[in-house]
Structure 1
Amino acid sequence: MLNLKVGGVPEHFNYPWYITLKNKEYTKHNINLRWKDFPGGTGAMSKALRSGEIDIAIVLTEGIIKDIIDGNPSRITQTFVKSPLIWGIHVSAKSNFNSVEDLENATVAISRFGSGSHLMAIVNAHNNGWDIDKLQFKVVGDLQGGIDALTNGDADYFMWEHFTTKPLVDNGTFRRVGDCPTPWPCFVIAVRNEILENHLKEVKTVLDIINDCTKDFKSIKDIDQTLSTRYEQQLEDIREWLSLTVWNDGTPVTEELILDIQNKMMSFNVIEKAEEAGKLIKNMYI
């Protein structure tokens, strides 16, 4: 039996992985797939891919593109969530900042450099016409670190997925002053090159199984209730999130898409130049 390790954020986007693992769908194909939570997000997963701690990662598109360009020996095999990720822009509930415009010279908390919270802070600054070179960052590790930094005054604002942080807005920990959607499909599946070279058939089996689950995910009986309970979110918030979220159904990732995303990332000064798209992706379905 082949042992494979997969990592992702412990958020509602990845509940299909929980379902397929619980149903032992991978073991039926002689694959021992093990899940590891990464509260630290894409930066932590990119590091884990590099070290071999995990073989497969469900990561933010912009983060893994940048890290592969910077030498991560992995490839993007497909998109996982085709819709944008909505990043909430949060301040402490007691903060004197009342709008996104107020944050131009403020310190932004990020999980780590190269993470989604870092790169999307740059995108947000670009969208608002701020000088990106003057952005001030405070590395906080994960969502809890962001909570602590804003509460203690070590940073002024923190960007994290809108619905994941909604309970913190509801309970008065954060105040959301705006949103910043990603200008591209938000999550992709990346696999270490060594695994692709030696176990391509098994990787494709894993992708087929998860795509089959996400295809019918929204029609699972009482899935809204299940997600609301598991992730401690209001039912109406989960229903809104479900209405906005579109998973991939196995459609191949194209070179055109990857080049388009890289061009946008260059315009945001996130990367200096675009890499040949073929060096970033491994198409499993052609």
Structure 2
Amino acid sequence: MKKVNIGGVPEHFNLAWYLTFKNGEYKEQNINLRWKDYPGGTGDMCKALREKEIDIAVILTEGIIKDIIDGNPSKIVQTFIQTPLIWGIHVANDSPYRTIEDLKGKVAAISRYGSGSHLMAYINAENNKWDLKNDLDFKIVGNLDRAIESLQSGDSDYFLWERFTTKPLVDNGTFRHVGNCPTPWPCFVIAARKDFIESNKTDLKTILSIINKTTSEFKDIPSIDKTISNKYNQKLDDVREWLNITEWSQKPIDKETVIRTQSELFSLNIIPEIVDYRTLTAKL
């Protein structure tokens, strides 16, 4: 049986993968697909791809594009979530900061450089016409739990993370939500190491076929809202709102999206150049 390692964030976006594992669908196709959670997010997964810890990652679009341009030997094989990610902007509940404008020049907690929390802080700054050199400062915290500690201790002042994942922390008074920053592009893609794609194309196609069948039917699964609510400790109304605004994709990432994402990252000096579509993507 072929062993394949895949990584992703332990969040509701990836429940479809959990369901396919639970049903034993990959083993039926003689594939031993092993999932690893990466609470640190995209930066951790980029490192794991580079170090061959995983073969495939369900990863933020902007993060993997930046890392491939920076030398990560991987390619995007398809879009996973077609809709934008809604990043919540959070402060500690007892923070004196009440608005996004209050955060200008303050310290943003980020999981790693090159992570979504890092790159989206630039998008937020641009949206609010801040000076990118003088109005942004960062503190690396690693993951959500350490971000909580950092904000509460005053080591950092604000933190961007997916709004519905952090909503329970807002509800229980750990964080205060001061605004949102949606990604200007489809938020999650599936990427794989180039050497893995070249030597395991059939297995990769099988894996994508299985997950795509599940995501295409995901919203029609009976009581899926209650399943998500229970598994991820989220209020039912929040889950229903998230399901309403989220669409999965079963298609390759299109050229226009790749160009648009790169153009935005280049304008923010996050990437040094705009590269060809084929440099970033693989056709299976």
The corresponding residue for 2:37 is 37
| Post-superposition CA distance 1:30-88 (Å, at most 9, x none) | 11100000000000000000000000000000000000000000000001000000000
Deviation at 1:131, TM superposition (A): 1.1
The corresponding residue for 2:63 is 63
Give the number of aligned pairs. Answer: 283
TM-score by length of 1: 0.98
- Runs of at least 5 residues in structure 1 that lack an aligned partner in the other structure: none
| Post-superposition CA distance 1:224-283 (Å, at most 9, x none) | 0000000000000000000011000x2222223211211122223322211111010002
Q: How does 1:8-87 map to 2 (within 5 A)?
A: 8-87=8-87
Given residue 229 of structure 2, which amino acid in structure 1 is its aligned partner? S
Deviation at 1:182, TM superposition (A): 0.1
The corresponding residue for 1:275 is 275
SS for the counterpart of 1:10 is coil
- Runs of at least 5 residues in structure 2 that lack an aligned partner in the other structure: none
Could you tell me how far apart the structure 1 residues matched to 2:260 and 2:99 are? 31
Q: How does 1:165-180 map to 2 (within 5 A)?
A: 165-180=166-181
Could you tell me how far apart the structure 2 residues matched to 1:257 and 1:267 are? 15
Q: How does 1:77-226 map to 2 (within 5 A)?
A: 77-134=77-134, 135-226=136-227
Could you tell me how far apart the structure 2 residues matched to 1:67 and 1:252 are? 19
Percent of aligned pairs with the same amino acid: 57
Could you tell me how far apart the structure 2 residues matched to 1:252 and 1:137 are? 34
Given residue 107 of structure 2, which amino acid in structure 1 is its aligned partner? T
TM-score by length of 2: 0.98
Question: Any conservation in 2 of the 1:2–1:30 contact (CA below 8 Å)?
Answer: yes
Could you tell me how far apart the structure 2 residues matched to 1:246 and 1:133 are? 35
Could you tell me how far apart the structure 2 residues matched to 1:253 and 1:204 are? 15
Could you tell me how far apart the structure 1 residues matched to 2:60 and 2:251 are? 18
Given residue 255 of structure 1, which amino acid in structure 2 is its aligned partner? K
Given residue 272 of structure 1, which amino acid in structure 2 is its aligned partner? P
Given residue 148 of structure 1, which amino acid in structure 2 is its aligned partner? E
Given residue 30 of structure 2, which amino acid in structure 1 is its aligned partner? N
The corresponding residue for 1:232 is 233
SS for the counterpart of 1:165 is helix
Question: Any conservation in 2 of the 1:224–1:235 contact (CA below 8 Å)?
Answer: yes
Which runs of structure 1 show a deviation greater than 4 angstroms over 4 or more consecutive aligned residues?
Answer: none
Question: Any conservation in 2 of the 1:253–1:283 contact (CA below 8 Å)?
Answer: no
Given residue 22 of structure 1, which amino acid in structure 2 is its aligned partner? K
Deviation at 1:151, TM superposition (A): 0.6
| Post-superposition CA distance 1:152-202 (Å, at most 9, x none) | 110000000000000000000000000000000000000011110101011
Question: Any conservation in 2 of the 1:90–1:176 contact (CA below 8 Å)?
Answer: yes
